Amino acid sequence: MPPRSAHPPRLSLKESLIVELLLRDAELYGLQLVAASRGRLKRGTVYVTLGRMEDKGFITSREEAPPADEGGLPRRLYRATPFGRHVYEAWNMAAAHMALRYAR
Amino acid sequence: MRRPGDRLHRLATTLCTERTRRRLIDPAIADLQSEFAVARRAGARWHTGRALARGYVSIAKVLVIAACGDLWAEASAWQPAERASARRGLLVALLTTAVATVLLVATFDSGIQTNWRLWGYLVPSMLTVALPLGLLIGSAWTFHGGGRTRKLAAGCVVAAVLCSIAMYGNVSWLTPESNQTFRERAFEQNFGPRDTPLERGLYELTMPDLRNRIEQELATGHPERAHVAESVYYQRLVAAVSMLPMVGIILALAFRREWTRGWLIGAAVVIFGVYCAPFVSSRPLSEALSIAPIVTTWTGPALLTGTALLLTLRRPRARA
């Protein structure tokens, strides 16, 4: 359930890119998102952006089982929520509308 | 078996809330460990090293951002007990600083007769010694029993950083100016007014002037005089940067070793001794052993920083 707010949800360029990548590939790790973004997302900030997007309800995540042979921490997989998809589509529609209206 | 990122994971446990660690730091470390394992299986040593370096830099970034976010969130919601502890610590720090400053000023021997009205000009230079002592005793007083909270620790770190900045301003500009004013007024009181201002000594030069003096002495073929000026230059920098490692040791002892107040104050006194050592010994040591002043002056802070890091990163001993 997305958090209730007095303002309409906003999607930054990075957030929009992440939702787009997640909608394309269903579930991805943070590093896979960085690789798929072709330099538009940075390793140092992607996890912070993902955490913020989870707070906003745009994406959700789950922990994978830790690798049995090597141990280590469990990796986290991210996926877009229906709310995230909805906001992403609404923003894209708004952008397309603005482009049509104000394009010269 | 130790995996890459294990130490950072432990550091994150100390610095961040569990929620932040699980959501931001752990995924970054898990991705690094996985990338490292893949690269190692492939046998590409260069790729393994590159993955490690890039992973560590990115995790460090995430850690800084997450820790700052946590600090900000926590700083806005203090419990009454934490406020009381912080107030007590601040009061003890201020009191210690004030008493130490007064004692140092009152026992200062300038070599000539001075009026007590001039004592105010000595305060900035005495703060170089009194402020770290106040900060250390205040921190040691705060972090025991129920006062051992992350919010207070964050407040203490912020206080140490602010003290560092204030100290840099003090030793760079305020102390040289007040020292010079003290000398001129004291001279005037004893020998009457002068037509020309007194020539400034090393302790009366601001940081840029001191740097110019070092270059000047080297250019005119006086390396021994340049060494003395260098010692003073580095001592001032040491005074400014030592606050955080000193407080770091107190925090590590309080949180990881759970030391009592008495032990913490004892540790604060020892740490203060290490802080003061370069001011007393760096110059004679540098001259006697022909070692560069940068080495003798920075040994103390390096020792403090190393101890702070070791205590913070080392796994605490298991209790029986």
CA distance B4 to B26: 12
Percent of chain B scoring above 90 in pLDDT: 24
pLDDT of residue B319: 47
Report, as an integer, the average pLDDT of B189-218. 87
Over residues B278-287, the pLDDT tens digits come to: 778 877 877 7
pLDDT of residue B93: 95
CA distance B13 to chain A (A): 14
B29/A76 CB distance under 8 A = no
A102 burial class (0-12, 13-18, 19+ CB within 10 angstroms)?
A: exposed
User: Over 70: is that where the pLDDT of B252 sits?
Assistant: yes
pLDDT of residue B287: 75
pLDDT of residue A34: 92
Of the candidates A30, A70, A71, the beta carbon closest to that of B31 is on A30
Burial string for B167-179 (b: 16+ CB within 10 Å, else e) reads: bbebbbebbbebb
| Range of weakest confidence among B104-108, B209-213, B257-261 | B257-261
User: Which residues touch B28 (CB under 8 Å, ≥6 apart)?
Assistant: A30, A43, A47, B55, B58, B59, B62
Q: How far from B110 is each of A73, B115, B178, CA to CA, in Å?
A: 63, 11, 14
pLDDT of residue B127: 93
pLDDT of residue B39: 82
CA distance B77 to B223: 55
Report, as an integer, the average pLDDT of B162-171. 93
- Name residue A78's beta-bridge partners: A28, A61
Of the candidates A31, A48, A67, the beta carbon closest to that of B65 is on A48
Report, as an integer, the average pLDDT of A4-27. 85
B167 pLDDT tier (thresholds 50, 70, 90): very high
Please report residues of A whose CB lies closer than 8 A to that of B5.
Answer: 73
User: Which residues touch B165 (CB under 8 Å, ≥6 apart)?
Assistant: B240
Over residues A22-55, the pLDDT tens digits come to: 999 889 999 999 999 988 998 888 998 999 899 8
Closest CA to A52 of A11, A85, A88, A91: A11
Closest CA to B250 of B236, B237, B234, B268: B268
CATH number of the structural domain A13-102: 1.10.10.10
pLDDT of residue B320: 43
pLDDT of residue A5: 62
Tell me the domain boundaries of chain A.
Answer: 13-102
Closest CA to B307 of B245, B240, B260, B244: B245
Over residues B38-93, the pLDDT tens digits come to: 888 877 777 788 888 888 888 888 888 888 887 777 667 778 888 888 899 999 99
B58/A72 CB distance under 8 A = no
User: Over 60: is that where the pLDDT of A1 sits?
Assistant: no
For A79, the enclosing helix (H) or strand (E) is strand A76-80
B58/A48 CB distance under 8 A = no
Q: Which range has highest mean pLDDT (A13-22, A59-68, B140-149, B276-285)?
A: A13-22
Q: Are B160 and B247 in contact (CB under 8 A)?
A: yes
B269 pLDDT tier (thresholds 50, 70, 90): very high
Phi and psi torsions of B76, nearest 5°: -90, -5
pLDDT of residue B21: 87
Contacting A with CB below 8 Å, chain B residues are 1, 3, 5, 9, 20, 23-31, 33-35, 37, 54-55, 57-58, 60-62, 65-66, 69
A43/B30 CB distance under 8 A = no
pLDDT of residue A70: 66
Q: Which two tokens stand for residue B108?
A: 């200062």
pLDDT of residue B75: 67
Over residues A48-92, the pLDDT tens digits come to: 899 989 989 999 999 887 766 667 788 999 999 999 999 999 988
Percent of chain B scoring above 70 in pLDDT: 96
A102 pLDDT tier (thresholds 50, 70, 90): confident
ipTM: 0.85
Residue with tokens 């760079």: B172
User: Over 90: is that where the pLDDT of B268 sits?
Assistant: yes
CA distance B67 to B78: 17
User: Over 90: is that where the pLDDT of B292 sits?
Assistant: no
Report, as an integer, the average pLDDT of B118-125. 89
